[in-house]
């Protein structure tokens, strides 16, 4: 019988070693794949410090790619951590002599589970290896999933065109527009777009003329959106994720200022301004003829910038450098949904005193400030298909690679090292060992559940129970007791677990309060559009 049990004992030891070999092979393959990925990304960048783009495309496809890549990462990291946990359990498993030594002190050890208690009674070699396995698992937990990340398209620039209905339907136009105001040509204030030299409007190859021309040709096929959605998109802190350039179709609040034959054709210079001087007329005639209809009122390149409080660095709103062109004087705030916006919108475009001084002397006088008041009818918007990217951080990957190499080396060392005694890895190992070689302490104990063991053993920090204090080994009567699942876990385990949980919760609350003081939480908990727009975002 003893020979049979001895063979079974050796078979079980071969069993855990076979599993250890498989785990070592698996973690080695993961390590080699990760090293190859790091080498490829570093060679592509020419440095170890940077981010490499793995995929770029429309945001829907990028989102799917990101999900699958993170799923693959999670499979890898789960396999790595499972292998690491296996070795930690093997290392924390006591040998028979270590169990006997603990039993002589009336202390029970745990078999078949990773145990912190066992670490106080195993060899220093196993303690060090267990600690290194644990230490190298932390970066894998924290960083591996962050090695791959996505970048969302958050455009901040667009072309604003304010025009009559005929502009998108082939009506004639004359840049810079019926207002005789080049983009950005205002003094003392901002809010009329990116400055453009007036002479650029006479150069048919200039960027501004090409942009206005392409807008006039293409806007007929753009999507029409109504006033509430248009204002929600362009008057507040919305990123350009759905719509790009916009044509705001307007009519003068007083239609008498528009072209008399057909207000859809826009305005005339004579209808907006008082008769100019001869020099002023000669200056403006090459740009905007006096009596010709002009479907273009104003056009400019616009951008949205985050407005941060310089003292607290808290978000204080956003600034759009075209905001005054469509009546937004104050800074914009978080996105306002279309269903909360009035469908009727009138605005004043510009006051004469804001016109740049160099143009003021040449610019005719506006007949009435009412000529600068408009009703927004609807908007034509350019639908965009933003490009998003999936990136790989080589710095984060390097940290993971170092940890994986450490784990692989530890696995090999544990396998290559022949301990004096094989560990009791699973309960079956302990059963075979104690049947093969009974121990005096437990020889006569037929049943020994956790509650009896707790009463007959001391804790690691208390004084060992003296032999005369222990109850003598003897058969025990089985008594059926109703116990809750809660009692299956020792009170000490509950205390340790909730102590850690409480510490983590306190830390997270402290970090949340600190972050909320700088960037207050706003909006709902569901998916929402980003409210912070950086000037440096891609357009």
Q: Reply yes or no on whether the pLDDT at 71 is more than 70.
A: yes
Tell me what the mean pLDDT of segment 228-240 comes to. Answer: 83
- Bridging pattern class, strands 346-348 and 223-225: unpaired
Which segment, 194-208, 213-227, 315-329, 386-400, is predicted with the most confidence on average?
A: 213-227
Rg (CA), the chain: 38
β partners of residue 437: none
- Look at residue 457 and tell me whether its pLDDT is greater than 60: no
Question: Rounded CA gap, 459 and 465, in Å?
Answer: 10
**Burial of 178 per CB tally in 10 Å (0-12, 13-18, 19+):** buried
From the DSSP assignment, how many helices (H) and strands (E) are in the chain?
13, 10
Phi first, then psi: what are they for 519, rounded to 5°?
Answer: -125, 90
> Residue 107: pLDDT above 50?
yes
Q: What is the pTM of this model?
A: 0.63
pLDDT of 293 above 80: yes
pLDDT score for 519: 62
pLDDT, average across residues 56-75? 88
**β-pairing, 51-58 with 223-225?**
unpaired
Q: What residues does 224 pair with on adjacent strands?
A: 380
Q: What is the DSSP string of 290-357?
A: SSS-B-EEEEEEEEEEEEE-TTT--EEEEEETTGGGGT--SPB-S---GGGS-S--EEE---GGGB-H
Give the other-Cβ count within 10 Å of 40's Cβ: 13
Per-residue pLDDT of 406-446, as tens digits, reads: 999 999 998 888 677 778 888 887 888 787 887 776 666 66
Residue with tokens 């999936």: 390
**Which alpha helices (DSSP H) does 370-529 contain, by range?**
394-416, 427-436, 450-456, 491-518
């Amino acid at each position: 019988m003893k020979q049979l049990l001895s063979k079974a004992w050796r078979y079980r030891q071969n069993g855990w070693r076979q599993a250890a070999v498989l785990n070592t092979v698996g973690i080695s393959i993961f390590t080699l794949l990760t090293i190859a990925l790091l080498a490829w990304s570093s060679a592509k960048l020419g440095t170890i410090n940077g981010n490499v783009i793995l995929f770029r495309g429309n945001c829907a496809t990028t989102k799917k790619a990101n999900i699958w890549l993170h799923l693959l990462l999670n499979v890898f990291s789960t396999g790595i951590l499972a292998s690491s946990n296996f070795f930690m359990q093997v290392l924390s498993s006591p040998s028979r002599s270590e169990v006997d030594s603990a039993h002589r002190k009336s202390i029970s050890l745990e078999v078949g589970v990773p145990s912190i208690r066992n670490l106080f009674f195993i060899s220093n070699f196993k303690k060090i290896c267990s600690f290194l396995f644990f230490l190298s698992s932390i970066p894998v937990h924290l960083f591996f999933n962050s090695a791959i990340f996505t970048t969302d398209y958050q455009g901040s620039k667009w072309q604003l065109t304010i025009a009559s209905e005929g502009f998108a339907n082939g009506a004639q136009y004359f840049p810079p527009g019926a207002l005789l105001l080049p983009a950005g040509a205002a003094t003392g204030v901002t809010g009329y777009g990116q400055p453009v030299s007036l002479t650029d409007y006479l150069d048919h190859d200039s960027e501004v003329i090409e942009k206005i021309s392409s807008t006039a040709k293409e806007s007929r096929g753009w999507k029409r959106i109504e006033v509430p959605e248009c204002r929600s998109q362009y008057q507040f802190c919305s990123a350009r994720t759905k719509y790009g350039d916009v044509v705001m179709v307007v009519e003068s609040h007083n239609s008498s200022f528009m072209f008399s034959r057909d207000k859809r054709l826009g305005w005339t210079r004579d209808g907006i301004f008082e008769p100019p001087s001869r020099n002023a007329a000669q200056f403006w005639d090459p740009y905007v003829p006096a009596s010709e209809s002009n479907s273009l009122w104003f056009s400019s390149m616009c951008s949205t910038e985050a407005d941060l409080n310089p003292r607290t660095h808290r978000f204080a709103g956003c600034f759009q450098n075209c905001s005054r062109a469509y009546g937004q004087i104050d800074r914009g705030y978080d996105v306002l949904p279309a269903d909360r916006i009035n469908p009727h919108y009138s605005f004043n475009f510009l006051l004469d005193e804001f016109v740049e001084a160099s143009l003021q002397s040449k610019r005719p006088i506006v007949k009435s400030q009412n000529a600068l008041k408009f009703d927004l009818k609807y908007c034509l918007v350019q639908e965009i298909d933003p490009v998003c990217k999936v990136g790989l951080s080589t710095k984060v990957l390097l940290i993971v690679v170092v940890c994986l190499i450490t784990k692989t080396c530890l696995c090999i060392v544990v396998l290559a090292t022949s301990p004096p005694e094989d560990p009791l890895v699973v309960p079956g190992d302990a059963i075979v060992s104690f049947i093969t070689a009974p121990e005096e302490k437990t020889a006569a104990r037929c049943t020994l559940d956790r509650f009896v063991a707790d009463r007959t053993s001391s804790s690691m920090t208390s004084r060992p129970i003296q032999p005369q204090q222990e109850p003598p080994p003897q058969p025990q009567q089985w008594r059926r007791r109703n116990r809750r699942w809660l009692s299956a876990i020792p009170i000490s385990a509950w205390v340790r677990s909730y102590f850690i949980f409480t510490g983590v919760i306190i830390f997270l609350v402290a970090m949340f309060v600190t972050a909320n003081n700088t960037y207050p939480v706003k909006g709902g908990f569901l998916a929402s559009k980003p409210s912070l727009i950086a000037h440096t975002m891609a357009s």
